Amino acid sequence: MAIRIVTDSTSYLPTGFAEQHDLPVVPLKISVNGVFSREFVEMTADVFYAKQKAGAKSGTTQPGPEDFIAVYTKTLNSAYIAAEQTDPRRIHLYDVRTAGLCLGFMVMEAIKLVAGGANMDTIIAALDGMQPRTHIYFLVGTMKYLIEGGRIGKAAGVAASILQIKPILTVKDGIVDVFERPRTMRTARDRMWAIIDQAVVRGIEHIGFHYAGNRAEVEAMQAEFTKRTGIPSVISQLGPVVGCHTGPETVAVVIVDKAV
């Protein structure tokens, strides 16, 4: 039985990857000033960040079952197979409890394993092994989007505002958390590089960089990483669904440590 991988749009895979691998992607929805759109389909990231900078109010909503049914049906070769494949007993849901390239790298690994003939149990075991080795660290220009969206504890947000710190953030068990609390953006950026350097010493299996509305800044960071290490990396833009919570000045790095 053939195995097909399906992901949602918050995997934020590198440009062209989904098309190259015939990967179905379910677009999640973003609300901008009360109007809902599917990210990357009816609302591009660049348009969204321009609206966000102009003060638009945004929020997110989950895709409906019909969004997934449409993708599953399109993925299959006939109505008969579609009926079989949409049987819940033949669909395995895998929750990585995060987004961005933390999800994207797992999707890429699953695609590779499927191409190599791996069965479902092998794929799940591999992803289970990747989860504890996958880390995201990110900076935001302002904490207000995270606070307004309820994506970080109110106490942490207030502390950041009062102390004027520029925290390095991460995701733990699906929740945005403070990893370190530098007081200036310059110190925060230096610490980000220290985190990356430590990962290089440990050994990197995958590394990727995310930008929001600040592509040139993060491309420069990726170029500096390449110059320093020569290690391959990927870069991709955070879409509106995540960007509405982090803002247009987000800088993120996702690191998958090598397996010991």
- Give the position of tokens 């900078």: 53
Is residue 70 exposed (0-12), middle (13-18) or buried (19+ Cβ within 10 Å)? middle
The answer to whether the CB of 23 falls within 8 A of the CB of 17 is yes
Per-residue pLDDT of the chain (260 residues; tens, 9 = 90+): 688 898 999 999 999 999 999 999 988 889 999 999 999 999 999 999 999 999 999 987 655 544 444 544 445 443 345 445 566 667 788 888 889 999 999 999 999 999 999 999 999 999 999 999 999 999 999 888 887 776 666 545 555 554 567 889 998 877 888 899 898 999 999 999 999 999 999 999 999 999 999 999 999 999 999 999 999 999 999 999 999 989 999 999 999 999 98
Residue ranges and CATH numbers for the domains of the chain are 7-130 (3.40.50.10170), 133-257 (3.30.1180.10)
